[in-house]
């Protein structure tokens, strides 16, 4: 098993993904195996943070006191340059197709990926 890289889900300013060394499949949700072919030990890497907006939804009604202090916040699905899709936050005026770069912001006591429009 290769060494686990720490990413934003564990408080680090990083987005990671895995590539299967057998079939080349790219996956975002970390597993000990490739979900496409089952081969073990997919290679883990840091992503560039570059991507394109696939979809957005501006959340105006949150369900917990911690998240309510942040409304409105924009939830995105971003197609990352490395070939995987991820959920993240981003600038409120982002639209489908926008080229974006990742940064990180505190949200409800955690660190979350926050995408901004590429200049």
Interface contacts to other proteins, rule CB under 8 A: 9, 28-30, 54-64, 66-67, 70, 72-73, 75-77, 85-89, 96, 107-108, 110, 112
Q: What is the smallest separation between the CB atom of 9 and other proteins, expressed in angstroms?
A: 5
Give least dist CB 68 to other proteins, A.
Answer: 9
Between residues 6 and 119, which has the closer beta carbon with respect to other proteins?
Answer: 6
Phi-psi map region of 80: left, alpha, beta (phi>0 left; psi -120 to 50 alpha): beta
According to DSSP, the β-strands at 16-19 and 26-27 are antiparallel
How near is the Cβ of 39 to other proteins at its closest, in Å?
A: 19
What is the sign of the dihedral through the CA atoms of 93, 97, 103 and 107?
positive
Beta-carbon contacts of 84 under 8 Å, excluding residues fewer than 6 positions away, are 17, 26, 27, 28, 47
State which residue, 5 or 112, has the beta carbon closest to other proteins.
112
Nearer to other proteins, 22 or 58 (CB): 58
């Amino acid at each position: 098993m290769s060494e686990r890289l720490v990413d934003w889900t564990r408080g680090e300013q990083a987005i990671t993904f895995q590539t299967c060394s057998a079939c080349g499949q790219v996956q975002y949700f970390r597993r000990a195996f490739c979900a496409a072919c089952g081969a073990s030990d997919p290679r883990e890497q840091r992503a560039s943070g570059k991507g394109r907006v696939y979809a957005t939804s501006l959340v105006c009604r949150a369900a917990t006191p911690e998240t309510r202090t942040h409304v409105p916040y924009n939830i995105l699905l971003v197609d990352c340059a490395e070939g995987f899709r991820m959920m993240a936050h981003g600038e409120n005026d982002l639209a489908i197709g926008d080229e974006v770069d990742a940064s990180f912001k505190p949200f409800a006591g955690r660190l979350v990926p926050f995408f901004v429009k590429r200049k």
